[in-house]
Structure 1
Amino acid sequence: MSHVVKKRKLDKSRQDSLYFDSYSDVTIHEEMIADHVRTNTYRMAILRNSECIRGKVVLDVGAGTGVLSIFCAQAGARKVYAVEACSIAEQAEKIVKQNNMEEKIQVIRGTVETVDLPEKVDVIVSEWMGYALLHESMLNSVLYARDKWLQQPGGVILPNKAELYITPICDPVVEDRLHFWYTVKDQYGVDMSCMSDFATKCIMNSDITVNSVTVEDVLSHPARFAELDLNTVTVEELRSVKGDFTCECFGSAAVNAFCVYFTVTFPCPDKPALVLSTSPFKPETHWKQAVLYLDVPVDVVQDTLVTGEVSMYPSEASARHICIHVDYTIGEQKKQSKTFSIPDWSSEAQT
């Protein structure tokens, strides 16, 4: 039996509940800890900042299992406040105890917006990045913590900068799936080529698809379209993160999507900054890349210009979900526009 569902806006408490519940299972924490690029970059960044951390007070926003808090204690922090809103905080307490860190690390159950710390902090560390950087809106919590709890001047935020990039791509899997319907007649004697239009609408939809993009799929040098300085950016500015881009294609291909990815940078006194990158040109992370499929593929050749503007903003249905709007022009074609969003967390977001 089929039925029509209508999306409705979730109130903030329900949005938060769904969000925090998603971190109450072991799977997501296993995925994050097992992401060597992510976890080891944070470890190295914290150890390289030991001069800023030794003897100081650290706030870990969204501490999860507490691994970053332990890294900070290992780097010499006098005190670490590990703030975590979901039930994984109970496991974090066990991990802290198992590593004999109870004297240095205090796990606090609650959101950073509601907990009360006994003192200001010298350093904020947080792994706040979501898909396409801003999905989940956890950066808002980091900025709240910065404004309320970080010592000024001289406070340190790890990481302290984020950058967003876009590049046109050709996803060969999509090409194969769309072509499939033309092969059915040869295999089974039934012409199903009319399914092509339907398949195109289903596959090249308005969802932000989280997927791994290979280097071979990338059709130009990526273009940076936005940069966030965590020392100064405001929550108001996060309501619309946008920028222009210009790309020149490498050769003949069909552009059927854009790829959006991010980097974050950790300052390292007297040493080169450490960069955690989710680029297709770097080792894969659990964030993969955000893929935005066009309605219709567009053929390009060497040096074809792909230009436009990207705008990222919270969804009206759920402020923790990100929307990406792209205005783009490929070669001599007219300007096109498309808005993408990440599907709802749960069927409970519908009625």
Structure 2
Amino acid sequence: MHHQDLISGKVVLDVGCGTGVLSIFCAFAGATRVYAVDASDIAIQAMEIVRENELSDKVVVLHGRIEDVVIEEKVDVIVSEWMGYMLLYESMLGSVIFARDKWLKPGGLILPSHALLYMAPITNSQRYHDSVYFWRDVYVSSMMPLAKQCAFMEPSVETISGENVLTWPTVVSQVDCYTIQAQELETITATFKFTSMLQAPLHGFAFWFDVEFNRPVRQKSKKLANQSLDGNTQNASPSSKKKKTDVSIVLSTAPEDAPTHWQQTLLYLFEPIELKKDQNIEGSVTISQSQQHARFLNICLKYFTGDQWYVKESVMR
């Protein structure tokens, strides 16, 4: 509804429509026609939901992959809830890019339009106690190495709070849905340098994301738009970035914001590292699509805490 002036009287494409709720919202906003596309059988339910809302004359549900369906016209707007855990896990962003390049009119609207993936070091003693250290209490401490492997080998999707975060976050990746190309999603690498704000054990690293709902950038304002998404966002709080772009609508999955079903993605270390206040943590993270399964993510984390380098490799499957 915030962008109703760009939706009313327009043709909309909903990529991965699910139950069709976003398509229905677009129809309520005045869209003349909405193509709701989903490859799964939920599309059959979406057809029924559209009929229940008496919108069959406006919303056309297409059961099939976005790469395979036939749409006989260009669209003015693309909407999609494409985000996965850690933004890119099982993400449908590639399908949105395909739809954009094939059907979106020049200057068309994409919602959401931008995304930022963040990471930060965290402490979480309770999680370690619940998953590993409780074995001490039942006199079978020899189980602890296996418990660590089982609990911390793969990334964990769970909810933490702002109190678990040791530093300001850094930006790992910036996504502009108007311009990003599919090959850019294959491998993402970012360097980081954090400074701990308190003395605490480092238990791992957390990832979360924001998505923004912006209008298409006009030619004369591209320079300003690029400035707002440059490297200066490194090591800035999510709330400060929201203030800089307060004309946008922002959906945040940050630990300090209201919980969402995306929660946060945690990469736990097998052995905690005791950090001192103002101690630096630096390194790099590489996130790449699995060659075996395009929607899985390979994550390689290299970090240095002042005495030695560590490497944490994991697969989000």
Normalised-by-shorter TM-score class? 0.7 to 0.9
Kindly provide the amino acid, as one letter, of the partner of residue 245 in structure 1: F
Q: How does 1:73-152 map to 2 (within 5 A)?
A: 73-152=27-106
User: In structure 2, the residue corresponding to 1:71 is in which secondary structure?
Assistant: helix
Q: CA deviation at 1:298?
A: 0.5
Query: Could you tell me whether the CA contact under 8 Å between 2:285 and 2:301 is conserved in 1?
Result: yes
The residue that corresponds to 1:233 in the other structure is 180
Instruction: Report deviation, 1:173.
Output: 2.8
Are 1:163 and 2:137 an aligned pair?
A: no
Letter in 2 for 1:231: Y
TM-superposed CA distance for 1:271, in Å, is 7.8
Aligned equivalents of 1:64, 1:201: Cα separation in 2: 36
- Distance in 2 between residues matched to 1:271 and 1:311, nearest whole Å: 30
Query: Cα offset for 1:312?
Result: 1.3
What is the percent sequence identity of the aligned residues?
42
Residue 269 of structure 2 is matched in structure 1 by 294
Check whether the contact 1:174–1:203 (CA below 8 A) recurs between aligned residues.
no
Query: How far apart are the structure 1 equivalents of 2:303 and 2:246?
Result: 39
**Residue 147 of structure 1: SS of its match in structure 2?**
helix
Q: Is 1:261 aligned to residue 235 of structure 2?
A: no
Query: What does 1:13-24 align with in structure 2 at a 5 Å threshold?
Result: none
Report the 3-state secondary structure (helix = DSSP H, G, I; strand = E; otherwise coil) of the residue aligned with 1:175: helix
After superposition, the CA RMSD in angstroms is 1.6
Structure 2 CA distance, aligned partners of 1:198 and 1:181? 11
CA offset at residue 192 of structure 1? 2.5
Residues 1:336 and 2:283 aligned together: no
Maintained 8 Å contact 1:255/1:300: yes
Aligned to 1:27: none
Partner of 1:179: 133
Structure with greater strand share of residues = 2
2-structure distance, mates of 1:197, 1:174: 15
Equivalent positions of 1:213-224 (< 5 A) are 213-224=160-171
Secondary structure at the counterpart of residue 257 of structure 1 = strand
Q: Determine which of 254, 263, 272 is the counterpart of 1:279.
A: 254
Q: Is the 8 A contact 1:166 1:245 kept in 2?
A: no
Secondary structure in 2 aligned to 1:59?
strand
SS at match of 1:112: coil
In structure 2, what is the equivalent of residue 308 of structure 1?
283
**Would the aligned equivalents of 1:79 and 1:105 in 2 still touch at CA under 8 Å?**
yes
- Deviation digits for residues 197-219 of structure 1, max 9, x if unmatched? 332233221x1111111222111
Alignment of 1:252 with 2:226, yes or no, is: no
Post-superposition shift, 1:307? 1.5
Structure 2 residue ranges without an equivalent (≥5): 217-244
When normalised by structure 2's length, the TM-score is: 0.87
CA contact (8 A) 1:172 1:217 kept: no
Query: How far off its partner does 1:179 sit?
Result: 2.3
Q: Name the SS of the counterpart of 1:194 in structure 2.
A: helix
2:151 paired residue number: 203
Contact 1:60–1:125 (Cα < 8 Å) also in 2: yes
Partner of 1:37: none
Contact preservation (8 Å) 2:192, 2:284:
yes
CA contact (8 A) 2:113 2:215 kept: no
Q: Secondary structure at the match of 2:136?
A: coil
Return the match for 1:193 from 131, 137, 141.
141
1:122 aligns to what SS in structure 2?
A: strand
The answer to whether the 8 Å contact 1:112/1:141 transfers is: yes
CA deviation vs aligned residue, 1:139-167 (integer Å, no higher than 9, x gap): 00000000000001x11110111111001
In structure 2, C-alpha distance between the alignment counterparts of 1:319 and 1:118, rounded to whole Å = 29
Return the offset for 1:195. 2.8
After superposing on structure 2, the runs of 4+ consecutive aligned residues of structure 1 that deviate more than 3 Å are 268-271
The Cα of 1:337 is off from its aligned counterpart by: 1.6
Q: Give the Å deviation of 1:280.
A: 0.4
Q: How does 1:24-43 map to 2 (within 5 A)?
A: none
Q: What SS is found at the alignment partner of 2:105? A: coil
**CA distance in structure 1 between the partners assigned to 2:283 and 2:33 by the alignment:** 47
Aligned equivalents of 1:308, 1:82: Cα separation in 2: 43
SS where residue 324 of structure 1 aligns?
strand
| Residue identity in the other structure for 1:201 | Q
Paired residues in the alignment total 288
**In the alignment, is the contact (CA less than 8 A) between 1:137 and 1:319 conserved in 2?**
no
Note the C-alpha offset of 1:193.
2.7
Structure 1 residues 72 and 214, CA, compared in 2 at 3 Å: closer, same or farther? same
